[in-house]
Homo-oligomer: A and B are copies of this chain.
């Protein structure tokens, strides 16, 4: 983190930031709780499985960690849990002995299919339902600007 001189922030930035923290906390708790109750896998597992499924070829652990909002360490442990549960597999890269590729199993896809509607419904109920289409479009556009500025997304 580079240190620069202090600048006076527009009062609006702090207000928007506070709103982001509140909305995130409230909605995420509700979504995670609903997925936990009604889904087949936890939200963390779901996130990982979703990325594995969208990348058909198998993902290096490193790349997987970049796509999920978690540390490399955490992802390593989550994948191990998924492997133990039979929902994912880990295969060594034949060309580079340092690398492992994680991929989703048929059972993992089944779990994903089973949990996806729960996740969609929870997200809709606890987040989307409170916003109209234009709100959602503006949120996506503005929040992705922030994420991209940090090298995510």
Contact = CB atoms under 8 A, between A and B. Distances in A.
Contacts of A135: 16, 138, 142, 145
A140 interface: yes
Interface in A120-152: 120-121, 123-131, 133-147, 149-152
Copies of this polypeptide in the complex: 2
Interface residues of A, number: 64
16 contacts: A3-B37, A8-B137, A9-B137, A12-B140, A16-B136, A16-B137, A17-B27, A17-B128, A19-B139, A20-B143, A21-B28, A26-B146, A30-B150, A135-B145, A138-B139, A139-B143
A10 interface: yes
Contacts of A133: 10-12
Contacts of A149: 26, 129-130
